[in-house]
């Protein structure tokens, strides 16, 4: 499959660019800092993926003229660590496609700006990155677009709306990646993707004369695994890790759920989903496990409202990635592994939560978690007037809920049992935590069945 090597290639490029950028920072101490030699490698690696035509950023950063025009702004947002938008704290997990500037690189940008933003020798300029028009993962194997737009009213509560599509996955093919593209980013809060296994969602869709049908957080289908499950602002699509793919049940439909919020004027939304296929059957089974704290009731003015959830793994597993989620007044989230009889370690720490930049954090190398490991989620919400992201002035009581102005405290972990024969035990003991498990290939399932008593 032509897309399988995407993650590996991205990691290699990131490592090479990071090393060359750091080297540039070291060697620039006694020479004029120029765009072509010192700044372009930083921008091409950390900024251009969003800052190019057709993407979410409001302007491009592909040329010297682009950067020169925004030099002061680039200095400000990098100095304040608002950009690049990578929220995970360094040293708390190593992830694919990290966008992070070292202190010496931030200083290099400041020196460049303060010295007049020099262009430098054209021979020093690295080749600008190239991007596929529209699709970040390249042309999809299957493209699905809503046949008609859905109208979002000017005001009122947030809307959960489900849309179902008939799709046909060829025999011998498996789902490797999914890329969601909103038609109108002003109104799409997030999108979730699921498999309509039994046709229930399609029947509900047929009963509603308007496009789609009313939804809620309880999806009428099987959520797609890991990085395929959802889109949120600032989140890049990622294929499933090497050795993992998703079998598609014959006759199943694709369910797209949109969480829409009114913008103040009537809007329409017509989404598109791209699906990427592979010939490689899954070598392991996957389980997406959820940590969630639903008892949220935050008084106005409360600066450090704590939420917590935990569970203990019944079998040895590998963590491939995780997706944290809070709303507007979330401030901090820590996810920690506590293996039995040894030192605890952090799986992810976000100390400056920003609702506009949510990500699926996929590990460079899967993290082994022994049986008996307790996974804890601890989050902090700031409902005070000092929180500049608080939508209410003065602050109002905030409770758990599905609306953007409500709050959540949750994380989804993509886990794979180290031994396939442990999957039945995992399903049984974590039935209340598991969002959905994706079985391995038929050959693997037969092998597992023979191994069980």
pLDDT at 8 (0 to 100): 32
What the block records as the tokens of 210 is: 């308007």
Q: CA-CA distance, 416 to 262, in Å (whole number)?
A: 39
Q: Which CATH number covers residue 211?
A: 2.60.120
What lies within 8 Å, CB to CB, of 331 at 6+ separation is 304, 352, 353, 380, 381, 382, 387
Q: Which residue reads 């069945």 in tokens?
A: 449
DSSP annotation string for 108-150: HHHHHHHTT-B---GGGPPPPP---SS-TTSS-SEEEE-SSPE
pTM: 0.78
Biggest CA pair distance of the chain: 74
Please give the residue range of the domain that contains residue 352.
286-451
Q: Say yes or no: 184 and 240 in one domain.
A: yes
Residue 308 belongs to some domain of the structure: yes
Q: CA-CA distance, 327 to 315, in Å (whole number)?
A: 32
Q: Say yes or no: 299 and 446 in one domain.
A: yes
Q: Which CATH number covers residue 326?
A: 2.60.120.230
Buried b (16+ CB within 10 A) or exposed e, 272-294: bbbbbbbebbbebbbbbbbbbbe
Q: Say yes or no: 211 and 256 in one domain.
A: yes
pLDDT at 232 (0 to 100): 82
Q: CA-CA distance, 443 to 453, in Å (whole number)?
A: 18
Q: Say yes or no: 119 and 178 in one domain.
A: no
Q: Which residue reads 């699509």 in tokens?
A: 237
Task: Name the DSSP class of 273.
Answer: E
Q: CA-CA distance, 33 to 39, in Å (whole number)?
A: 8
Q: Say yes or no: 318 and 446 in one domain.
A: yes
pLDDT at 345 (0 to 100): 97
Q: CA-CA distance, 177 to 221, in Å (whole number)?
A: 18
Q: Which of 124, 153, 181 is the last residue of a domain?
A: 124
Q: Which of 55, 90, 124 is the last residue of a domain?
A: 124
What lies within 8 Å, CB to CB, of 342 at 6+ separation is none
Residue 213 belongs to some domain of the structure: yes
Residue 129 belongs to some domain of the structure: no
Q: Say yes or no: 178 and 110 in one domain.
A: no
Mean pLDDT, the chain, rounded, equals 86
pLDDT by residue for the chain (453 residues), tens only, comes to 333 333 333 333 333 344 444 444 454 467 899 999 999 999 998 888 888 887 767 889 999 999 999 999 999 999 988 888 888 898 999 998 888 888 999 999 999 999 999 999 999 999 998 876 678 888 999 999 999 999 999 999 889 999 999 999 999 999 999 999 999 988 998 899 999 999 899 999 999 999 999 988 778 888 898 889 889 876 778 999 988 999 999 999 999 999 998 989 999 999 999 999 999 999 988 888 889 998 999 999 999 999 999 999 999 999 999 999 999 999 999 999 999 999 999 999 999 998 878 888 999 999 999 999 999 999 999 999 999 999 999 999 999 988 888 999 999 999 999 998 998 888 887 776 654 455 554 444 343 333 333
Among candidates 126, 138, 134, which has minimal Cα distance to 13? 126
The answer to whether the CB of 66 falls within 8 A of the CB of 60 is yes
Strands 230-231 and 361-369, bridge-based pairing: unpaired
The answer to whether the CB of 273 falls within 8 A of the CB of 256 is yes
Q: CA-CA distance, 98 to 93, in Å (whole number)?
A: 11
Residue 132 belongs to some domain of the structure: no
Q: Say yes or no: 224 and 196 in one domain.
A: yes
Task: Name the DSSP class of 34.
Answer: B
Angle between helix axes 6-27 and 103-114 (nearest 10 degrees) is 60
What lies within 8 Å, CB to CB, of 15 at 6+ separation is none
Q: CA-CA distance, 404 to 261, in Å (whole number)?
A: 8
Counting every residue, how long is the chain? 453
Domain tally for the chain? 3
pLDDT at 196 (0 to 100): 93
Residue 78 belongs to some domain of the structure: yes
Q: Say yes or no: 318 and 417 in one domain.
A: yes
Q: Say yes or no: 435 and 355 in one domain.
A: yes
Strands 409-417 and 272-278, bridge-based pairing: unpaired
Residue 130 belongs to some domain of the structure: no
Q: Say yes or no: 168 and 230 in one domain.
A: yes
Sheet holding 374-381, edge to edge: 305-312, 374-381, 330-338, 345-350
- Cα radius of gyration (the chain): 23
Q: Say yes or no: 309 and 407 in one domain.
A: yes
The answer to whether the CB of 136 falls within 8 A of the CB of 235 is no
Q: How many helices (H) and strands (E) does the chain have?
A: 8, 22
Peptide bond into 391 cis (omega under 30): no
Among candidates 117, 109, 132, 114, which has minimal Cα distance to 46? 109
pLDDT at 450 (0 to 100): 33
Residue 373 belongs to some domain of the structure: yes
Residue 1 belongs to some domain of the structure: no
Q: Say yes or no: 245 and 147 in one domain.
A: yes
Among candidates 216, 245, 213, which has minimal Cα distance to 228? 245
Q: Which of 96, 124, 152 is the last residue of a domain?
A: 124
């Amino acid at each position: 499959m032509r897309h399988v090597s995407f993650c590996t290639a991205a990691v290699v490029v990131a490592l090479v660019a990071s090393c060359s950028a750091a080297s540039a920072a070291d060697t620039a101490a006694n020479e004029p800092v120029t765009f072509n030699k010192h700044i372009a490698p930083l921008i091409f690696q950390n900024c251009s993926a969003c800052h190019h035509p057709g993407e979410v950023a409001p302007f491009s950063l592909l040329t010297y003229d682009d950067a020169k025009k925004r030099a002061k702004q680039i200095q400000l947002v990098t100095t304040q660590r608002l950009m690049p938008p990578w929220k995970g704290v360094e040293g708390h997990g190593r992830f694919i496609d990290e966008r992070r500037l070292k202190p010496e690189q931030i200083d290099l940008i400041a020196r460049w700006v303060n010295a007049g933003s020099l262009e430098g020798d054209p021979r020093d300029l690295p080749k600008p990155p190239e991007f596929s028009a529209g699709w970040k993962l390249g042309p999809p194997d299957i493209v699905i677009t809503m046949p008609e737009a859905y109208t979002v009213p000017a005001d009122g509560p947030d809307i959960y709306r489900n849309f179902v599509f008939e799709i046909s996955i060829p025999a011998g093919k498996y789902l490797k990646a999914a890329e969601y593209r909103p038609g109108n980013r002003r109104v799409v809060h997030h999108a979730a993707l699921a498999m309509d296994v039994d046709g229930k969602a399609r029947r509900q869709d047929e009963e509603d004369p308007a496009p789609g049908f009313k939804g809620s957080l309880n999806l009428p289908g099987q959520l797609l695994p890991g990085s395929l499950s959802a889109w949120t602002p600032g989140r890049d699509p990622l294929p499933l890790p090497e050795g993992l793919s998703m079998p598609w049940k014959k006759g199943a439909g694709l369910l797209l759920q949109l969480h829409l919020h009114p913008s103040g004027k009537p809007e329409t939304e017509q989404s598109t989903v791209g699906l990427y296929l592979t010939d490689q059957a899954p070598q392991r089974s996957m389980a997406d496990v959820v940590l969630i704290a639903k008892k949220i009731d935050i008084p106005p003015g409360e600066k450090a409202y704590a939420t917590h959830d935990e569970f203990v793994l019944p079998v040895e597993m590998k963590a491939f990635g995780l997706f944290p989620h809070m709303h507007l007044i979330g401030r901090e989230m820590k996810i920690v592994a506590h293996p039995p009889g040894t030192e605890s370690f952090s799986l992810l720490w976000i100390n400056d939560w920003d609702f506009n930049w949510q990500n699926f954090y996929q590990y460079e190398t899967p993290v082994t978690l022994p049986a008996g490991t307790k996974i804890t989620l601890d989050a902090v919400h700031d409902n005070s007037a000092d929180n500049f992201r608080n939508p209410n002035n003065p602050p109002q009581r905030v409770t758990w809920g599905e609306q953007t102005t409500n709050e959540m405290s949750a994380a989804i972990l993509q886990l794979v049992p180290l031994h396939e024969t442990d999957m039945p035990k995992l399903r049984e003991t974590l039935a209340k935590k598991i969002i959905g498990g994706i079985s391995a290939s038929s050959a693997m399932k037969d092998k597992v069945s023979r191994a069980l008593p």
